[in-house]
Structure 1
Amino acid sequence: MYLFVQSINARTRLDAAEGKNLAHLARECFFNHQPLTLDFLNVGQVSQAFCQALLCPLTNEFGADFLNQWLQLKNLSAEVSGVMQSALSELDDYFDGLARFQAQTTDQEIVSLNSLWLIKARELCRDKPFCARYILGITDQDLRQAIGRLSLEDIEHIAQSGWLCFAPRMPNHLFTQINTKQRNGIDVLLTLSGGGE
């Protein structure tokens, strides 16, 4: 995807909110196996908070090597480039702060959920990839293979991240309907099969 940054912002100076929006867009592209090019043509100013909101979470989530291949920044003015370099030089501080935050807020129930889910996912990805695809919703073959190769140490490390490793797959309207009336098992299965991927 090729995007002119100026065309999506009416503001002359880009700040943290615009950085978060672009980071969200980048995630969508990466999860759909699309590279992203951000063209900064005619963008005169960005704040350091913009750069940190855009680059720090993406670097944490995908890694610098991945971003070097999948994210391109074009037509950076000297001023914008200087602010970007300054923000990147503070990545160590960002990651140290993130590690401290995660250590303080790690919820043991989240850790348990992650561990159980990852162990089951690894088992299904190794032995029953069809079940991993349809029961757990792991539709990407490369991801199934990567999960199938996880060691117990890898699983423990991921589980301790403090972030839930999976998301609900049911459509929003299912929860609304369940809250308004009793549903029997067949209704739930029909709803799931009708709203599948």
Structure 2
Amino acid sequence: MISLANMFNKMTLSVEQGKRVHKMTREYLLTHDEPVVIDCAGIGELTAGFFQQLIFPLVAEFSGQIINNRVVMLNLSDAQLDIYQAACDQAGDYVDELLVEHAPTNEIADISLDFLIMAREMARMDPDKARIVFGLNTAMIEVIVLMDYETMCQIAKSGVMCFQPRFSHFYARNLANDELSPIDVFINISSKLERIYER
């Protein structure tokens, strides 16, 4: 549980405190399966800026549905609850603006960003599947699960593909001459997982 009264010796919490609580909440969501509980008891005023700094980035990274299910606000006064709900209602607009601001500008960047987002979500939900589907090793999984949207956009905007082919040029050259089933192709490619991203 995150107790705001224990964290801050203040009766009014605003933007800077919201950033600190967001950081703690994000780390908890990434490392625990159970919901994170934020106790607001003993705090006189929680400003709109506090809730915006706490909620907006979480919705952008994890989705509103996950935040509704895994972030529990305790002991909110009626006034604080109104401000919190208003921030949740505005989160969609924030995400839309973020997507426009950081959107990749070319087709290669679009593909790379889609790959990174899918790889991150699969690595969070099913690391073993991510190893097979994306060729991620343990070190890469540990890194990609922590990436935020802005970082992925920065990588994608480089204009180069973020994932390389997982088959040799010899195999690709001979593939047209061999009548292989999809499972044969799968076995050939997935057998080389340990070498992916080691460099």
Q: Deviations over 1:17-63 (max 9, x none)?
A: 11111111111111112421001111110111111100111011111
For normalisation by structure 1, the TM-score amounts to 0.58
Instruction: Give the total of aligned pairs.
Output: 142
The equivalent of 2:49 in structure 1 is 49
One-letter amino acid of the structure 2 residue matched with residue 136 of structure 1? M
Q: What 5-or-longer segments of structure 1 have no aligned partner?
A: 144-157, 166-197
The equivalent of 1:15 in structure 2 is 14
Residues in 2 aligned to 1:31 and 1:124: alpha-carbon distance in whole angstroms: 17
Residues 113 and 89 of structure 1: is their aligned pair in 2 closer, same or farther, counting only changes over 3 Å?
closer
For normalisation by structure 2, the TM-score amounts to 0.57
User: What's the RMSD between the two structures over aligned residues?
Assistant: 3.8
Residues 9 and 61 of structure 1: is their aligned pair in 2 closer, same or farther, counting only changes over 3 Å?
same
What aligned pairs does 1:39-188 form with structure 2 within 5 A after superposition? 39-103=39-103, 106=104, 111=109, 114=112, 118=116, 125-126=131-132, 132-134=136-138, 136-138=140-142, 162-164=153-155
Larger radius of gyration: 2
SS of the equivalent of 1:37 reads: strand
| Percent of matched pairs sharing the same residue | 21
Residues in 1 aligned to 2:42 and 2:78: alpha-carbon distance in whole angstroms: 12
Larger RCO (alpha carbons 8 Å, 6+ apart): 2
Residues in 2 aligned to 1:107 and 1:70: alpha-carbon distance in whole angstroms: 34
Residues in 2 aligned to 1:64 and 1:117: alpha-carbon distance in whole angstroms: 21
Q: What 5-or-longer segments of structure 2 have no aligned partner?
A: 123-128, 157-199
Q: How far is 1:114 from its partner?
A: 4.5
